[in-house]
Amino acid sequence: MSTSQTPVLSIKDLFIEFETPDGAVKAVNGINLDLFKGEVLGIVGESGSGKSQSWMATLGLLAENATTSGEVTFDGENLLTLPPKALNPIRGNRIAMVFQDPMTSLNPYLTIETQMVEALRIHNKRMSKPDARKRCVEMLDRVAIPAADKRLKQFPHELSGGMRQRVMIALALLNDPEVLIADEPTTALDVTIQAEILDILLDLQRERGMAVVFITHDLGVVAEICSRVCVMYAGRLAEIGPVQDVFTDARHPYTLSLLKATPRAAQSQAAQSDDALYAIPGAPPNMRMPPPGCPFEPRCACADAHCREQVPALEPLQGSETRLKACFREGSSAALLEALVHER
């Protein structure tokens, strides 16, 4: 992926804050990221690191108590400030999202047909109901739902979790979006179905050349399907780069710890070096009072006084256009690993 290409969607200085009775939660703290046409971008990070919220913000789907700042540019417009009237033709049409929780993301009171047909017809005003229905059946077939015709008539509670997740994917793909944001689309499923759905998703992605944002905890899946990966920690980006590079030569201590904690990422040297399952010591910072320095500093084996005082900026690695990291510490992955192992 060359950076000379213009991005389909670009996020600049995105901040998200949630107003709560116990104070403001600073969920996302300055994200800069470009999404290119036809790429599959993996987003990884611990639970609560702001993966879902930062992408929901692009579609204006944050909770009422959220305030955002920054820019999300899509087709020359800032999605964050677009009024609903102008945003609606984009949502579900040019940018679609598959949500994390398939069990509750479909309306239990409406049939699958109603929920799919409305998504089509709101963006294609002249499409007739039978045509819309036909398209829905095609799409359900495409995500390998058997007896699609019958399924359309059913209510969500009559479908299994895997079926609902497929319906969610079919729903998102109905209008041939340019960007698909898939938020842990397979987490709720067992491994065989997971692989099947990933295959379907990748097929469709290649067929249509859409950009896919794939949010997940599963580094193995990222290694398999993503071209680039972006590691998030405490509402910030820790590291971005092509998957192979990042996984074989991680430059941020957090990425390294994450790889080390994941036995399935077989290619990573971190996992090879230590057979015992590794857990990152400590817990993510309280997002109501983030530390003044690097957010990973309290858990980092390589940190020094400098890390405690100043937040490292996301900067390109020396001699690389495609890789960026937010860490003061220079040096190869091996050197970082040394420090990590030493600490244990």
Partner 1 sequence: MSYALQRFGQMLVIVIIALLAVFSTQRLAPGGPFDGERPPPPKILENLRAYYDMDLSMPAQFYTYLFGMAGREIGDNGKPGKAHWFVVPSNAEITTLGGTNDRSTAEGVFVRQFCPWDQWLGQVIPGAREQLREQGTVFRKCGVVRGDFGLSMARRSIYVNDYVRDGLPATLKYAIPSLLFALLLGVPMGFYAAYRQNKPADFFMITIGMFGTVVPNLVMAPLLIFLFAVQLDSVFHWLFVETLEWVELGRRQRTLNWIPSGKTGGVMHYVLPTLVLGTGLLGRIVRLSRAGALEALRSNYVRTARAKGLPAHVILLRHVFKPAILPVLTYMGPVTAFILTGSLVIERAFSLPGLGRQFIAAATDRDYTLLMGTTVILLLAIILLNFIVDLLYTWLDPRIRRGGGRS
Q: How far is the CB of 123 from partner 1 (least distance, A)?
A: 6
Handedness of CA 273, 276, 277, 280 (dihedral sign): negative
Q: How far is the CB of 316 from ligand ATP (least distance, A)?
A: 25
**Taking CB under 8 A as the rule, which mask of x and - marks residues 168-207 in contact with partner 1?**
x--x------------------------------------
Q: From the list partner 1, ligand ATP, Mg ion, none, pick the one residue 158 interacts with, judged by a Cβ distance below 5 to 8 Å according to partner type.
A: partner 1
Q: How far is the CB of 57 from partner 1 (least distance, A)?
A: 12
Tokens found for residue 259 = 């790889």
Which DSSP symbol is given to 313? Answer: P
Q: Is 280 in the site for ligand ATP (CB under 6 A)?
A: no
Q: Is 123 in the site for partner 1 (CB under 8 A)?
A: yes
- Is the Cβ of residue 50 or residue 241 nearer to Mg ion in the bound state? 50
By CB atoms closer than 10 A (0-12, 13-18, 19+), residue 217 is: middle
Q: From the list Mg ion, ligand ATP, partner 1, none, pick the one residue 49 interacts with, judged by a Cβ distance below 5 to 8 Å according to partner type.
A: ligand ATP
Strand arrangement of the beta sheet that strand 23-35 belongs to:
23-35, 9-20, 66-74, 77-78
The dihedrals phi and psi of 18, each to the nearest 5 degrees, come to -110, 130
- Is the Cβ of residue 45 or residue 302 nearer to ligand ATP in the bound state? 45
Residue type, 186: T
Binder of partner 1 out of 82, 122, 127, 261 (CB under 8 A): 122
Q: How far is the CB of 208 from partner 1 (least distance, A)?
A: 18
Q: How far is the CB of 105 from Mg ion (least distance, A)?
A: 12
Which DSSP symbol is given to 278? Answer: -
Alpha-carbon gap, residue 43 to 24, rounded angstroms: 24
User: Of the listed pieces 99-107, 206-214, 259-267, 275-283, which binds partner 1 according to CB under 8 A?
Assistant: 99-107
Binder of partner 1 out of 71, 118, 224, 245 (CB under 8 A): 118
Residue burial 267-284, b: 16+ Cβ < 10 Å; e: rest: ebbbbeeeeeebebeeeb
Instruction: Give the CA angle between residues 28, 57, 191 to the nearest 5°.
Output: 85
Tokens found for residue 150 = 């019958």
Binder of partner 1 out of 1, 24, 61, 301 (CB under 8 A): 61
Tokens found for residue 256 = 């390294």
Closest CA relative to residue 194, chosen from 211, 227, 226, 216:
216
* Adjacent-strand bridge partners of 68: 16
Binder of ligand ATP out of 20, 104, 244, 248 (CB under 6 A): 20
Q: Is 50 in the site for ligand ATP (CB under 6 A)?
A: yes
Q: From the list Mg ion, ligand ATP, partner 1, none, pick the one residue 88 interacts with, judged by a Cβ distance below 5 to 8 Å according to partner type.
A: partner 1
- Stretch 168-207 residues interacting with Mg ion (CB under 5 A): none
Binder of partner 1 out of 13, 158, 176, 343 (CB under 8 A): 158
| Whether the Cβ atoms of residue 79 and residue 126 lie closer than 8 Å to each other | no
Which positions lie near partner 1, rule CB under 8 A?
Answer: 59-61, 63-64, 84, 87-93, 96-97, 99, 101, 104-111, 114-115, 118-119, 122-123, 155, 157-158, 168, 171
